[in-house]
A = this chain, B = another copy of it.
Amino acid sequence: MYRSHNCGELRIEHKGQSVAISGWLNASRDFGGMTFIDLRDRYGITQVVFNMDDDAKLCERARKLGREFVLKIEGKVRERSNKNLNRATGEIEIEASKLEVLNTSKVPPFTIEDETDGGDDLRMKFRYLDIRRNSVKDSLIFRGKLAIETRKYLDSQEFIEVETPVLIKSTPEGARDFVVPSRMNPGQFYALPQSPQTFKQLLMVAGMDRYFQIVKCFRDEDLRADRQPEFTQIDCEMAFVTREDVLNTFEGLTKSLFKTMKGIELEDFPRMTYDEAMVKYGSDKPDVRFDMEFVELDDLVKGHGFGVFDNAELVVGICAKGCAEAFSNKKIKELTAWMQRPQIGAKGLVNVKCLSGEIKSSVGKFYTQEQLSEWCHRFEAEEGDMLLILSGEAERTRKQLNELRLKMGHDLGLIGEDDFKPLWIVDFPLLEWDETSERFHAMHHPFTSPKKEDVERMLNGDHATMKSLRANAYDLVINGAEIGGGSIRIHDRALQSKNFELLGFSEQEAEDQFGFLLGAFEYGAPPHGGIAFGFDRLCAVMNGQSSIRDFIAFPKNNQGRDMMIDAPAPIHEEQYEELYLQSTAIVEEV
């Protein structure tokens, strides 16, 4: 037996008991006559004391122990004279009578503390040490608890978790698939699922009705920061539902998770159309923890000789409350430069300062005080406020202003630390026209249903009509992060075929890739819809973190490498042969 208690368990009421604990040496302090050791495990830290007077030999041994040694300590619980009330076990210590070194440790390459001196690469290579740090350990425990709470809630709502296969078929749509050569079927490959989309729809055809799965998905994309080639979804689907059924169910789940995990009661989630979100925030995932809504000025600013505004498709701005004084010319110059970086690409930034008695503006020579006053009025600006105005092509300008708005929100401290503001974005466009390839892409995915009132137009409309179709799709956004998205699906074979046609599939291609689904729609497919939450992202957002990496036990870096196990790696020649493959890669000798 290695322990009678763990390192987070002992309290004053255990005083006098003989106990055994095991764990890692977190820190030790030697005071000559006495040596103190903090022993750590997943559950906490317990102080152990060795006394020269009681057992000099034991104390000498204790002095020589290094950090991260694995120890088993036996002894008696006693009350501390010098209590540490910040620690759950801080009222007691163990008077050691026996010490067993279960394993030694080299000096770790970085300190196992909340604030570590390890860089990212080192932390990834020694991830098993990184996880000993509270911040990472607690993130993984949070994730585990969130998963089980999710399952309990969905179980209580009669959802059944069904495992869908990982070895499926490559469908060259959306992102790139990872593929897996089949040894038993030469020249053929499985693909890893980008999502269980078609399988969950087939489960609806199969009558399973309320399906969910917390499931790994895979995308072979060039990794942007904070993307992982494998990621986890809470994947759900329901039969005989309308959009409101889905939204209410998963609003219920989200509220329940915030309540259970964080003790936070969320208010009902507002719903906002995609169009409204774009007009008000220039983003389909607006951070509504602060206001600063967009205000359009075209009618007020055009025709007064300022060419930039006159020629712009859109003139739009935000109001930064109380910033007129604080933003010096230098600061505004910096802000303008920030907006002009290639990542954002704004041409310029117009400012209007509502100061006492005078309105100052970078475009003041084109407009009268009265005209500028009208602008301020439209913004409901008060004395001391500053307007920041962009102009240009409508869509691009809105996106640029979104970046500015988010920066101002952060810089001005408008965002409460423990503030969570979820909302539903609904009524996305069904199709996006891609100018380069001259074809439509599905904004959500090819199985998304148009809104009921748009079905007729979709079946019979012209090209221009297609651009205006609305999807019965929805996203859950919290604090500016997209947590999940879903849609009511097409369950009619003819409509699904029409959608594939619009997306540029030939009949043969549609049949080859999705014939099983089209076939299934002929055997009594019920109306159905669903949603998927990004589980890694949900973990991060609920903890106010911007990176998902610490919520993944063994993440990969931006080159898709696992630094710890050093994967991917070359395979043996026999493996190539068995798989009927040859490499064409020119690889330098290792």
Contacts and interface: CB of A to CB of B under 8 A. Distances in A.
Interface residues of A, number: 128
Interface stretch (A28-36, A144-152, A266-274, A356-364): A144-152
A189 B179 CA distance: 11
Interface stretch (A101-109, A339-347, A432-440): A101-109
A42 B207 contact: yes
B209 A42 contact: yes
Contacts of A570: 187-189
A527 interface: yes
A127 B205 CA distance: 10
Interface in A153-198: 155, 160-170, 172, 176, 178-192, 198
A207 B137 contact: yes
A575 B561 CA distance: 20
Nearest to A588: B187
Main secondary structure of the interface of A (DSSP, over half): loop
Contact of A207 (B41, B102, B143): B41
B169 A132 contact: no
A179 B181 contact: yes
Contact of A582 (B209, B516, B582): B582
A297 interface: no
Given A187-B587, A581-B583, A102 B568 contact: no
B140 A527 contact: no
A216 to B, nearest CB: 5
Given A144-B160, A169-B569, A179 B575 contact: yes
Contacts of A104: 524
Contacts of A521: 103
Contact of A208 (B6, B137, B172, B571): B137
B144 A565 contact: no
30 contacts: A2-B241, A24-B526, A42-B207, A105-B522, A105-B524, A106-B523, A130-B206, A131-B206, A137-B207, A140-B162, A143-B163, A144-B161, A148-B161, A166-B166, A166-B230, A167-B567, A169-B565, A169-B568, A176-B578, A179-B579, A180-B568, A182-B568, A184-B222, A185-B559, A185-B561, A199-B553, A202-B564, A203-B553, A580-B584, A582-B584
Interface of A: 1-3, 6, 22, 24, 40-43, 68-70, 102-106, 108, 126-132, 137, 140-141, 143-145, 147-148, 151-152, 155, 160-170, 172, 176, 178-192, 198-199, 202-203, 205-210, 216, 218, 220, 222-223, 229-230, 232, 239-242, 245, 491-492, 515-516, 520-527, 552-554, 556, 559-562, 564-572, 575, 578-587
